[in-house]
Amino acid sequence: MALPETEQLTHMIASAGLARAVCTLGELGVADHIHSGTPQPVEKLARLTGAHEDSLYRMMRFTASYGVFRETGPRIFDHTRLSAVLRTDAEGSFRAATRMFHLMFPGWNGLHHAVQTGGSSFQNVFGKPLFEYIGEHPELAPLFDAGMTAFHGHETGAMLDAYDFSGIHTLADVGGGNGSMIAAVLQRYPQLKGILYDLGHVIGRAKTTIRTHGLESRCSVVEGNFFESVPEGADAYLMRHVIHDWTDEQCVRILSNCRKVVPPHGRILIVESSVSAGNEPSLGKDLDIIMLGFPGGKERTEAEYRVLFERSGFRLAKVTPTKSAVCVVEGTPA
């Protein structure tokens, strides 16, 4: 008879299949063919998605045991609150995140390499760092943008509710991606001006976002590489989910470039997870393994942020929690 410990470990090993199954169902778009309260037979879902019927049933039965879909009758499935968010048209849809990881999933195959060497799992498998790979495959950029919004878009409102930006005149969003965050901040604070700073292959999408929101007169879009320099002209420099992509040495380089342009009364704002102590599970610890596997960075503790700031010419002023998994780590010139 199996020991309870071996059965629990078996569940953990099988959880790799759970992650892949959720991404596969998201890629297939199964959720789009079910309306809550109107269960659908697997036979129809397989026909609509081009899937093998019995294999699709087994995958849905498996994910339903974790709360993703619900079998309401023999081989008939309805939505749960989790599967409903996999619909393309759902508010805060998570489908793009599953599709992004469906494409990048082979990157997990290098995790053994990462833990042995400290290198990136993704780079070991794909031959290039994650962001360089995306830069060379522009067809992936819209999906990556949508995937990042699915993962982190809900954090923007939580950040704005928790942190007061009213004392800032000009906010620079360093590594601002498609511009969705800086646009939200500027809309919440009509007196605020903005600068979005990112690589050349990114800022085209950012300009579209700024233009769509009618913010061209209040937000400039600047091309550049934060490993080389950061633009002047702001009194606060914000980075959300940027620092966690990089090693400590790379972070010190980015932050040191920020320190060169932050005025004496200015501040640096890092919006990231703060990894908790102890053995309790947390989303920050989950994200940390993703960082180890894909960009090769890490989620950090408050103490680790403090050290990064000190090495870069800042001091940690305060940490503001939000209702989401992220907090706002504020630094001021030392």
Going across the sheet that includes 236-240, the strands are 219-223, 193-198, 170-174, 236-240, 267-273, 326-333, 314-321
Percent of the chain with pLDDT over 90: 91
Going by pLDDT thresholds of 50, 70 and 90, the confidence category of residue 1 is low
Residue whose entry in the numeric block shows the structure tokens 């849809």: 93
- Grouping H, G, I as helix, E, B as strand and the rest as coil, residue 314 is strand
Percent of the chain with pLDDT over 70: 100
Distance CA 232, CA 2 (A): 63
Q: For 161-166, what is the mean pLDDT?
A: 97
pTM, two decimal places: 0.91
Catalytic residue among 113, 213, 244, 265: 244
Distance CA 55, CA 53 (A): 6
Going by pLDDT thresholds of 50, 70 and 90, the confidence category of residue 300 is very high
Q: For 51-64, what is the mean pLDDT?
A: 98
Cross-strand pairs, 319: 329
Cross-strand pairs, 35: 38
Residue 244 catalytic? yes
Gyration radius of the chain's alpha carbons: 22
Query: Across all residues in the chain, what is the average pLDDT?
Result: 96
CB count, 10 Å around CB of 195?
Answer: 21
2, pLDDT greater than 80: no
Domain limits, CATH 1.10.10.10, in the chain = 4-93
More confident site: 148 or 270: 270
CATH number for the region 153-333 comes to: 3.40.50.150
CATH number for the region 4-93 comes to: 1.10.10.10
Would you state the pLDDT for residue 167?
94
Domain limits, CATH 3.40.50.150, in the chain = 153-333
Distance CA 275, CA 252 (A): 19
Whether residue 109 contacts residue 140, with contact meaning beta carbons closer than 8 Å, is answered with: no
Distance CA 129, CA 109 (A): 15
Q: Tell me the pLDDT tens digit for each residue of 219-231.
A: 999 999 999 999 9
201, pLDDT greater than 90: no
More confident site: 4 or 271: 271
Return the structure tokens found at 181: 């965050």
Q: Tell me the pLDDT tens digit for each residue of 11-21.
A: 999 999 999 99
Would you state the pLDDT for residue 3?
86
Q: Which amino acid does the sequence have at 92?
A: G
Cross-strand pairs, 174: 197
47, pLDDT greater than 80: yes
Return the structure tokens found at 53: 């019927």
200, pLDDT greater than 80: yes
Would you state the pLDDT for residue 142?
86
Q: Tell me the pLDDT tens digit for each residue of 76-115.
A: 999 999 999 999 999 999 999 999 999 999 999 999 999 9
Q: For 137-161, what is the mean pLDDT?
A: 91
Q: For 189-212, what is the mean pLDDT?
A: 94
> Residue 89 belongs to what H/E stretch?
none
